[in-house]
Chain A
Amino acid sequence: MIVRPSRRAEIGQWVFLLAVLALGALLASMLADNLARRNLSFGFGFLGAKAGFDIPFHLISWSTYDTYARALLVSLLNTLLVAAMSVTAATLLGLLVGIMRLSVNWLLRNIALVFVEFVRNTPQLVQIIFWYVAILQSLPPPRQSIVLPGGLLLNVRGLGLPDLVLRESGLFGATGALAAWLAAAVLLATPFVWRLRIRAWRVGTFRVGPWALVLPVLAACLLAAGVERIEYPRLTGFNVTGGTQIPPELVALWAGLTVYATAFIAEIVRGSIEAVPAGQHEAARALGLHQGQRTFLVVLPQAVRIMVPQLNSQYLNIIKSTTLGAAVAYPEIFQIFAGTVMNQSGKEVEIIIIVMAVFLSINLVFSAYMNWYNARVALVQR
């Protein structure tokens, strides 16, 4: 702007800053006073103390003799696990529902619309509690488990998944774990190699065909070589043994977060695809590209550019919403810290600071990554 702020305003802002600082100091003194009155002290030393409570679901080892600091790590991993599961599932489903919304088929289009409208206009917390209390807790007991295709068992105690049992030693003395890591590495590298190939394909020097599948097949072979057998969840007596058991709390939170985010992502996908100018589609057609090429090489890449910033904020919403796991007692960071640890240690201020700091840092890291990605896919202006 051409108008410079007045001298008075320039000085006024510093007075305002002073007032803010004074308010902060006042609050801090109140806190010190109140803590002294309750014989409490401020500090994060309690993190080194023995926790002494059980965390029913953990990805890394946990015992009641571990410290609060380790409880922080365990619950943070639980938070990240459910966030990652929900982000993945919601992206795929959102893409599907978003494309359904654009279908030429009237029925499909309107079913997607009804789904999106209903989900978007009901609170997420109600949905999560509904999944947990009304659906998962009314499932049959283990003895009458519902058998899903692929050997999955669904019952009131959660979802039983088949598990891969890795070889202790196998070909050339290599263990199954090594093979699994190699397979994962190859699989991770695949999209990057594909990118190169797609570029080559665009300029017409490379035919995509069976070659695209070389890496995934290699990964599958590696994994197959390392796996001794697949262990399916089985019914023994009154309980399910074998396989991996996903607790109902995780399933409910996962379902709740995924379904809610799916509706929002579907709208983002639809809006982004509609925002690509029709001329792009027509021009691609005039060049003689067929339907698949038009969609995947012309329209979708441009839609992705529009999608990325909005998806970014949706993903951040999912991460923040994992705290709703507190309502179904899924042991994520909020439930463990603002619940159990707060009750045990009475360190209210410290714990709120820790939880907020964790979410702020996750947000910052994620935003930084998405901004970097956004800069990569953004249109290069020449």
Chain B
Amino acid sequence: MTAEAAAQNGRVGGPVGGASPLAAARVIARVRTWLGRNLFSSPVNTLLTVLVVAFLWLTLPPIFEWMIFGATLSGASKAACTGDGACWTFIRLRLPLFLWGHYPIEELWRVGLALLALVGFGAPVLREHTRHRGRYVLALLTVFPVLAGVLLVGGVPGLPYVDTSQWGGLMLDVIVSFVTVAGALPLGILLALGRRSQLRVIKTLSIGFIELWRGVPLLTVLFMSAVMVPLFLPHGVSVDRLIRAMVAFTLFNAAYMAETVRGGLQGVPEGQEEAAYSLGLSWWQVQTFVTLPQALRHVVPGIVNNVVDLFKDTSLVTIIGLVDLLGATNQALKDPAWLGLAKEGYVFTAVLFFACCFAMSSYGRSVERRLNRHRQKASAQ
């Protein structure tokens, strides 16, 4: 609003907040119009405004006092926290645990490098204008996981082995999410195609698979991976707990991805497929070159929503004993030297999760706006 007013002001000629009384009067008039329209348009509206302001007046100052003005950040132990506010010292000292669990400190550069690689591989995929986006997606889903896997696990000359039990914190949430997306998206696409298939057996199996996973809570699926899967493996064979959890996540989310993709497939006009068949393309060719490219473009916002949901859900691995960000918080709070700091711990966890999820949601919304813009243009022509 103020920027708008300033722009208006500039066009009239007077500098912003300048000496011209006319410009100042204009700004005041605009502010008044805005207030009248948005806060005081009717008696009821005025009453609501007063109530909301009173509510904010009562709640915000204590919150700010606790979070910022009365808070402590410096110091090296709980004794440093003498104020009434939050004890952020605890968060500051435990930051490595929250971010990467018990990953060896001298090997942390590998995590940083993997993160850089993720940004490098991911940026061309997410950017608005990319030629050959498909190739970048392929690289992100094949080359990058191998690279990051070797970097993080190690065990090759020059890179000492780091067991997955030492992984943790936000890093673990990101890794589980990435692996899940990389696995669940292709599987979900296959399931969505299967659900629309004319082959009855394939269709029934796909529907059964999708509805089974969508009907049960994620926690039961995770528990299944933790306690039941070992019973289904040959004697003497054991699979890493983290990998089992990732497989559970992948199967579970593939069902949700499938439903999202199915929505996109339904939006592709039937004529497209018919035209492709009449050109003599096979079923796989029709799906790969005609139907899917159109369908996937339109479900990007839906897929981003799914990714946000599954990123939030990765916090559930805490319950099966993996130390993700939430698990690290739980662990840190049990430290006898830092008892009674639950509020700080969970507020920090929530804010960190919020920052990641909000960034992803915002990206999804911007893609949606872009798509709508194109659609509007297309319908206008």
Q: How far is the CA of A10 from the CA of B234 in the complex (A)?
A: 33
Residues of B within 8 A of A10 (CB): 199
For chain A, the count of residues having a C-beta within 8 Å of the partner chain is 63
Chain A 106-130 near chain B by CB (<8 Å), digits 1 or 0: 1110010000011011111111011
Of B49, B200, B231, the most chain A CB neighbours within 10 A belong to: B231
Residues of A within 8 A of B313 (CB): 123
Which residue from B38, B215, B217, B346 sits with its C-beta under 8 Å from A334? Answer: B217
Q: When the two chains form their complex, are residues A108 and B219 in contact, meaning their CB atoms are under 8 A apart?
A: no
Q: When the two chains form their complex, are residues B215 and A323 in contact, meaning their CB atoms are under 8 A apart?
A: no
Chain A 1-13 near chain B by CB (<8 Å), digits 1 or 0: 1111110011011
Secondary structure of the B contact surface, majority rule: helix
Q: How far is the CA of A9 from the CA of B200 in the complex (A)?
A: 11
A357 and chain B: residue at smallest CB distance: B216
The reply to whether the CB of A37 lies closer than 8 angstroms to some CB of chain B is: yes
CB A371 to nearest CB in B, in angstroms, measures 14
The reply to whether the CB of B380 lies closer than 8 angstroms to some CB of chain A is: no
Q: From B99-107, B352-360, B368-376, give the one contacting chain A.
A: B352-360
Q: How far is the CA of A261 from the CA of B227 in the complex (A)?
A: 30
The reply to whether the CB of B93 lies closer than 8 angstroms to some CB of chain A is: no
Residues of A within 8 A of B361 (CB): 117, 120-121
Q: When the two chains form their complex, are residues A326 and B219 in contact, meaning their CB atoms are under 8 A apart?
A: yes
Which residue from A9, A104, A107 sits with its C-beta under 8 Å from B53? Answer: A107
For chain B, the count of residues having a C-beta within 8 Å of the partner chain is 60
Q: When the two chains form their complex, are residues A5 and B198 in contact, meaning their CB atoms are under 8 A apart?
A: yes
**For chain A residues 106-164, which have a beta carbon within 8 Å of chain B?**
106-108, 111, 117-118, 120-127, 129-130, 133-134, 137-138
Which residue from A2, A35, A111, A118 sits with its C-beta under 8 Å from B274? Answer: A2
The reply to whether the CB of A338 lies closer than 8 angstroms to some CB of chain B is: yes
Q: How far is the CA of A356 from the CA of B225 in the complex (A)?
A: 13
CB A370 to nearest CB in B, in angstroms, measures 14
Q: When the two chains form their complex, are residues B283 and A349 in contact, meaning their CB atoms are under 8 A apart?
A: no
A18 and chain B: residue at smallest CB distance: B201
Q: When the two chains form their complex, are residues B39 and A121 in contact, meaning their CB atoms are under 8 A apart?
A: no
Known interface pairs A123-B326, A321-B217. Does A33 touch B235 (Cβ–Cβ under 8 Å)? yes
B198 and chain A: residue at smallest CB distance: A5
Q: From B112-120, B149-157, B163-171, B314-322, give the one contacting chain A.
A: B314-322
Q: When the two chains form their complex, are residues A104 and B45 in contact, meaning their CB atoms are under 8 A apart?
A: yes
Residues of B within 8 A of A62 (CB): none
CB A286 to nearest CB in B, in angstroms, measures 22
Q: How far is the CA of A107 from the CA of B220 in the complex (A)?
A: 42
Residues of A within 8 A of B108 (CB): none
Q: When the two chains form their complex, are residues A13 and B201 in contact, meaning their CB atoms are under 8 A apart?
A: yes
Residues of A within 8 A of B182 (CB): none
Q: How far is the CA of A334 from the CA of B220 in the complex (A)?
A: 8
A137 and chain B: residue at smallest CB distance: B342
Chain B 216-243 near chain A by CB (<8 Å), digits 1 or 0: 1111100110011011111100000000
The reply to whether the CB of A230 lies closer than 8 angstroms to some CB of chain B is: no
The reply to whether the CB of B31 lies closer than 8 angstroms to some CB of chain A is: no
In the complex, the number of residue pairs spanning A and B with C-beta atoms less than 8 Å apart equals 165
Known interface pairs A342-B227, A348-B228. Does A126 touch B349 (Cβ–Cβ under 8 Å)? yes
CB A335 to nearest CB in B, in angstroms, measures 10
Residues of B within 8 A of A355 (CB): 220
Q: How far is the CA of A146 from the CA of B370 in the complex (A)?
A: 51
Residues of A within 8 A of B215 (CB): 359-360, 363-364
Q: When the two chains form their complex, are residues A31 and B231 in contact, meaning their CB atoms are under 8 A apart?
A: yes
The reply to whether the CB of A172 lies closer than 8 angstroms to some CB of chain B is: no
Q: How far is the CA of A118 from the CA of B353 in the complex (A)?
A: 10
Which residue from A123, A326, A352 sits with its C-beta under 8 Å from B353? Answer: A123
Which residue from A31, A105, A348, A363 sits with its C-beta under 8 Å from B48? Answer: A105
Q: How far is the CA of A9 from the CA of B323 in the complex (A)?
A: 46
Q: How far is the CA of A126 from the CA of B98 in the complex (A)?
A: 14
Residues of B within 8 A of A103 (CB): 48
A360 and chain B: residue at smallest CB distance: B215
Q: When the two chains form their complex, are residues B283 and A9 in contact, meaning their CB atoms are under 8 A apart?
A: yes
CB B303 to nearest CB in A, in angstroms, measures 17
Which residue from B228, B315, B353 sits with its C-beta under 8 Å from A121? Answer: B353
12 pairs, CB–CB < 8 Å, chain A vs chain B:
A10-B199, A33-B235, A104-B38, A123-B312, A127-B350, A129-B346, A138-B342, A323-B220, A348-B227, A349-B228, A349-B231, A356-B216
**Known interface pairs A35-B231, A320-B217; 15 further A-B residue pairs with C-beta atoms within 8 A, sorted by A's residue number:** A3-B283, A5-B197, A27-B232, A105-B48, A121-B308, A121-B354, A126-B315, A133-B333, A320-B216, A323-B217, A327-B318, A334-B219, A338-B220, A349-B228, A356-B224
Query: Lowest 9 CB-CB distances: which A-B pairs, in order?
Result: A106-B38, A121-B357, A123-B312, A320-B217, A13-B201, A123-B315, A130-B346, A323-B217, A323-B219
Chain B positions near chain A (C-beta within 8 angstroms): 38-39, 41, 45, 48-49, 52-53, 56, 197-202, 205, 212, 215-220, 223-224, 227-228, 230-235, 270, 273-274, 277, 283, 308, 312-313, 315-316, 318-319, 326, 330, 333, 342-343, 345-347, 349-350, 353-354, 357-358, 361
